[in-house]
Structure 1
Amino acid sequence: MNASGDYLITYERSAGAGNTDIVARIFNGDTQAVGDEFLINSLTTESTNPEVAALSNGDFVVVMEDEYGGLGDIDVGVTMVSGSGVGVANFVAFGSAAEDDPHVAALAGGGFVVVWRDEEGDGSGNPGIKAALYDNSGHKDDGGTFSVNTTTTGNQSDPEVAALADGGFVIVWTDSGSGVIRGQRFDATGNKVGGEFTQNYSVEDNPVVAALSDGRFIVGFEDVDNAPIDVDIHGTIFDPRTGPINGTSEGEVLTSRKDGATVNGLGGADTLLGQAANDTLNGGTGADEMRGRAGNDTYVVDNAGDKVIENAGEGTDTVKSSVSFILGANVENLTLLEAAAVGASLNINATGNGLANTLTGNSGSNILDGKAGADTMIGKAGNDTYVVDNAGDKVIENAGEGTDTVKSSIAYTLGANLEKLVLTGSAAINGTGNGLANALVGNAGGNTLDGGVGDDILSGGLGKDVLLGKGGKDVFVFADPVGAANADEIVKFKHKKDSIFLDKDIFAAVGTKVSKKEYFEGSQAQDKNDHIIRKGNKLFYDEDGKGGAKQVLFAKLDKKAVTDHKDFDVGDFVV
C-alpha cells in the first residue's frame, strides 16, 4: 500500500505462442479498481514471478524474471510505476548469464533494495546471492551490485528481503550445502552490519522474512529433516534494535534483547545480563550484579557494592568505575572515571587480578595495583602510585602529569616521567632512576640505588645498601636506625655539591644542623659535642660525644671523598 492507501496488484497472463506477460492494476483502500489494467513487461515477451513494493513517494516498483529474445537468458527486470498507474521506466537490472528469483523491499528512508540469485555467484563456482540499492526514481546507488553471502561453499539460493525500521534491511536465504538458513543485516547504504547469522534448526529450506512493528524481524522456514513424510514450519524472532534498555528505580532483572546492546539500570539493586556480543551494562546507583556473558563487554560501576561476573573465555572485558574497584575473576581491564557526583573524590584506586590487566587512572591521585600478571598501568594526571610485582609490568606516564611513585617488590628502573621509586619487601633488589630528579628508597634488604644523572634523593632503608649519586646534586638520606647492619656505602660523594641528610629523630643528639663543633675527624669523639665522627672513610654517630655510649657506624665513603660539617643537613625525611 502506498501513501495514498492504494495497492498495485500484479499477475501473470498468457500472451500466446507460449509467452507470458506481467500485467497490473491499481486498487484503492475500498478494493475499488482505479483505472484499467496495464502491461508491466514492455521490453520482453516472457516475464514471470513478479513482486511489488510501494515506495515512500507514492510510486511502485515491480521486479520480475525476464527472458530476453527467447534465448533462455533469464535476467532480473525492474519496472517503475507511478501512483496513478503509468509506467515510469523499464530496465534490466542485472545482466549476467543467469539470474532469477528476484525480490524487492522499499526502505524506510526512501528508495528500495532488490535481491536475487545469481548463477555465476561470487567467483566461487557456486550460485550466490546478489543485491543492489536504488533511489525512488530507479537510479542505482553508486555502490552498484554487491554480494550478500559471505559463505561461498555450497549452493546459496531462495533469497528473501525485508526492510527494517532503522532504514536498513535484512536478507535471508537457503544454504543448501549445509542445510541451514542464513541471514545478513545491512544498513541503509548497503554496508553489512555484523556477520552472517544462521537459523540452524535441523535441515531447513524456503525461508521468508518480515519486519515487526517494534523493530524486530521474524524468519520463517520449513523444517524438511523428515520430508517427504513430515515437513514442519518454524520461525525465529531476531532483534536488531540498537537503543539502550533502561530500567527503573526499582530492583530489576534486565536482559539484553540482542547481541551488542546497552543495558541501563537505575536506582535499584539490579541484575543485568548481556548476550553473546559486545554489551554495555550500567547498573545505575544501586548495588548491582552484572553478567556480560560472551563478547568484549563494558561494565559501568558507580557503587562499591557492584559485582561484575565473567566466566573464563568470554572475551576481553572492561570495567569503567567512578569508585575504587577491584577486578573480579576473568575481567581484564579497569578504567577509573571522573567523579560521578558533585563533590565526590577523584582520588580512587584500581586493583587488578591474576590476569594481564590494563589499569587506567583518572585526573586524581590514584593507586594502581595490577596484582599478579604482566600488567599495564596508565596513571594520567594526578600524583599516582603504581604497585609493581612482575617483570612484565608496564607503567606509562606522560610529561606534566603529576609527581608519581612506583612501589616495587622486584628490581626496577623508572621509566619516562616517573619521579619516585620505593622498593618493598626484604629481598636484595636494586632500584634505578632516570634523567629526572628522582627519589629512590630501599627496602629491608641490601639494595643498590642508582639515581642516574638527575638531582636525586637516595635513602637505603634497612640493610647494607649502596647509594650511587653519579651526576647531579644528590642527597643521601639516613632515616633508619643506625648500626653496622644498616650501614650504607655512598659512592662518588661530591663535596660542596652533594649532601648527607640525617633524620632528626634518629640523630636526636644533633641540633637543627651539624655545627662545626659537632663534626670531628679522628678515631673517636674528643668531647661531648662530637656527634658526627669521620674515621678514615667511615662515618659514625655518637649520641653523647665523649660519654659512655659507643659511636655507631652508619655510612662508608670513597677513601678520597672530602667532607666537612657543611655537607650535612638535619630534618624530617618524607618520601
Structure 2
Amino acid sequence: MGDYFFLELASMTTFKVTQNAPNLTLKSFNGGGQGYTSIINNLSYAIKLYWVDLNGVEVGYETVPTNGTDVRQSAFIGHAWRIRDLDGNFVAEFYGDTDQIVLSKTGIEFTFDDSNLTIPKTTLSADEYIHQTFGYGIINVAKALDATYSEAPFTGSRITSYDNSAALKYINSYNLWKQGYDGKGVTVAVIGTGIDSNNIEFSGRIIEGYDFGNNDSNPIAGTHPHETGIAGIIAGSATLKVEGSLYDTIGVAPAASILNIKDSIDDGSGITDSKSAQSIRYAVDHGAKVISLSQGSSGTYKSNELYSAAKYAQDHNVLIAVSAGNDFKDSLNMPAFAWNGLNNYIVVGNWNMDGYNLFRSSNKLGSVDVPYVVAPSSGWQVQLNNSYAYYEDGGTSSATPYVSGLAVLLFQQHPDWTPAQVISRITSTATSPYSLSVSLPSSSKINALPTGAVSISGATIQGQTLIASNTLADVDGLGVISYQWLEDGSNISDATGNTFILGQSQVGKAISVNASYTDNYGTAEKVSSSATAKVANINDAPTGSVTLSGSGVQGETLTATNSIADLDGLGSITYQWLRSGVAINGANAKTYVVSAQDGGESLSVRASYTDGGNTTETVTSKESVFVLPKSTITTSVVKGVISGTSNNDVFDTALNTTAKYQGGKGDDSYIVNPSGIVITESANQGTDTVFSSASFTLPLNVENLKLFGLSEITATGNKSNNLIVGNSANNLISGLEGNDTLTGGAGKDTFVVSTALNAKTNVDTITDFNPSEDLIGLKASIFKKLGVGVEASELWLKNQGSVQTANQYLIYDSNSGTLSYDADGSGKGLAIPVAIIGTNLSLVAGDFVVL
C-alpha cells in the first residue's frame, strides 16, 4: 500500500491517504471552544511550519524535529499552514476548524467532517477526479494543441523573479507562436472597462465595438486599465519591452483580432446584468468566436438576462471564458455558477505558481458541475498610454485571459469545432497539480443516460433515401452526434451520414441506425433507433448489351453474345432470332444460319431471362445484319442495258456499274452499291424494291427503297406511295409525293416534308419517330408562315388538334398522331394534315427544323 498520511479527528477516527511523506499525523481537537491541530512528526527528517496569509505569502514558524510534536491554532479558509522539509521542499498543507481538516497535497481535496468522509464527485472515471478546489487542473497549451514543446521549464521563484515568461512557461505556451499558433484569423471579444486602442501592443488588431456603459460607439478605455491588461495577456504582440529586464509582454495568441466592448463607465463602475448581456449579444453578432469575461458578482442569484445572452452565444457557437471570482469562497459567483446546463463556457480559477495551489482569494469550483480550470495571474501587463505594470496576484480576472487565448488557438487550429469540443479539449488536457493517488474507497459520478429518441423516416424501398433524426438530450452535455446505419443489426460499411440510400444488398433486411456521441464527461453514449420493416425490392433494369457477329450472307452463321448484368440476379439466358423484328419460328439457339428466306430482311437477336425477383427481362441487340437477296440475272449487256424477265428478278448492280437496268413484269429487286445507277421500270409491272448502300432517289414505277450498310444516306421517294426503310446510320428521308410509309431505323434521322400538302394524296406515315433523337424537316417554300428560324417561337402543339390563338401554325393531335399545318394560324381555315407521326408524343419546337 505504500506510505501513509494519518489524519485523526477529535472523534479519533483515522483515515489513510497515500503520500510521499510517511508517518505524519494531524489531529484536530477542541480547546476552549477554539480549534487546534496537533502535528506529530514521525518522519525521518525534521519539518518546518509556515503560516500562509491571504496573498499566499509564507511566514516561518516552528521547526518540528523527528518524533517531535507541535500544536497550532487551526487556519480558517483564506489562510493555511504549510509544511516543508528543511531544504524547502513542499510536504503538505492544511486548514480547517474544530472538526474539519482539508489536505491539498493529494490533488484531491478530502474533507473530514464529524467522522464522515466526503469524497468529491468524479466526472471522469473511478480514479480520476475533478477537484472541488482546482477543477480539471492547470491548463496545458501545448498538450491541448498537440504541439511540440521544447522550451526548458522555468526554475526558481516564478513570482519574485518578476519574469513575465514564467506564466507562459508554466502553462507550456511560451514561444508557440513561432510554430504558427498565434490566433490569426480568430476574433476574441474583451468585455469590461474598455481597451486602450492606441496601445502599440495591439496595432491594427483592435476592432472598435460599442460602449454600453456610456451608450456610445467609442469603447476606448477611460481611467481604468483593467481590460487593456486582459487584452495584452490574450493577444499582446511583445512590442513593449519591460524596463530593466529581458522579458516582454507577449500574449498567448499574439496575432488574434480583438473586439473592444465596454459595459462600464470610464472608472470601471456601473456594470449591470443588462449591460453585460447586451455586450455578450453584441460580441456574438459582430464575429467574435471567443468572449473573455473577467468580471462577476459576489451574489448567488441567477440572472435571466445573462443566462439568455450566454444561451444566445451557445446557439451561435461562441465560447465564453469567465472568471471564478475573488471572494475567498468555496463556491462560484454569478454568473459562473448560474450558467450550469450550457455547454459553451468555461470557468477559470487563479493559480499560485509558487505555492502550487489556488491563491486564497480565488473562488473554488465547489459542488457545481461546470468545466473549471486554473491558470496563473502573475506577470507584467500592458497598461494605458503604452505603459506596463507588474501584478503578483492578478486575481481570476488575469487568469481568465490565458484560457481565452488557448480557446482562440484551438479555434484557429480547428475552425469547425464547437465551443463544447474546444472546452472538452482544454479540460481533458489540463494537468493535475499533484500526481499522488488515494487509497480510500472512491466514488464515481453516476452517468446520466441520454433522453429522447433516434428515428428513421423514408420509405423502405430499394432506391429510396432514409433520413435519421433525433431528439436526444443529455444533462452531462450533448457532444457532436455521428450516425452508423445497420442492416439486420450489422454495421453497413461507409454508411455514417444522417441519410442513407437503400441498395440491392439491403433488400429483405431491416434497417436501423445508431446515434453516438461523447458527453462532456468523456462518456461514450449510443442510442439506437427501432428497426424498419424489411426493405422491399424494385425491379432493376438489366445493364449491358447483346451483340451479334457474322455476315449477312446466305449460308453463313451468326453468333449471339451478351454482357448483361442485373442487380436482381441473372437467370438462365435464352435467345430468339428476329427477321425484321418478327420472331423466326424455331430460331432459339445462340447461333443462326442465314437462309434464303432472310433475303432483303434485317436479322437481330433478343436475349431473355427471369431475374431473381421473378421478373422476365429482355434485351435486343442494337445492331442488325441486313441480308441481301441473291442475284438471279446473269445475262449479258445488250446495247448498254441489262434486262430482266417476267419473273421476280434480282439485279446486283455491282456486277456492271455502267449498264442500265430494265426490269420486267415481276416483283424485281435491285442491289445498288455505287450511286448513279439507272433503273427503268414500266407501270403495272409488280412491286419493285431497291436495296441501296448509297444515297438514292427512286425512279418512276419503283415503289420501295431499303437502305443497308453503315453510311449516312439520303433516301428520296417518287410520286408513288413508297415504302422507305433506313439503316442504322443518321438518314435523311423524303417520300416526296404520295402517301408514303417511312421508317428511319436506328440513328438520328430527319424526315423531310418538301412537296405540296394534300390531305388525300400526300400524307406520309412515320412509323418510328422518336422526338429525343429524330427531326421533322419542313420545307420553307411549303410552310411559308414559319420561315427559317421562326418555328421555335411560333410552334403550337395541342392534343385536341385545334388553333386557339393567332400565329399558331403547327397542330399536333396526340390522340390520332396527326401533325397538321394551319396556314393562317387562327383556325379560320382548315388545317391540312402533314404526316402521321405517332400518338402521345411529347413534342417541342426543337423537334422541327425549317429547311
Q: Please confirm whether the aligned pair reaches a TM-score higher than 0.5, indicating the same fold.
A: no
> Could you state the TM-score of these two structures normalised by the residue count of structure 2?
0.22
> Which of the two has higher C-alpha Rg?
2
Query: Which has the larger share of strand?
Result: 1
Scaled by the length of structure 1, the TM-score of the pair is 0.31
Larger helix proportion of the pair? 2
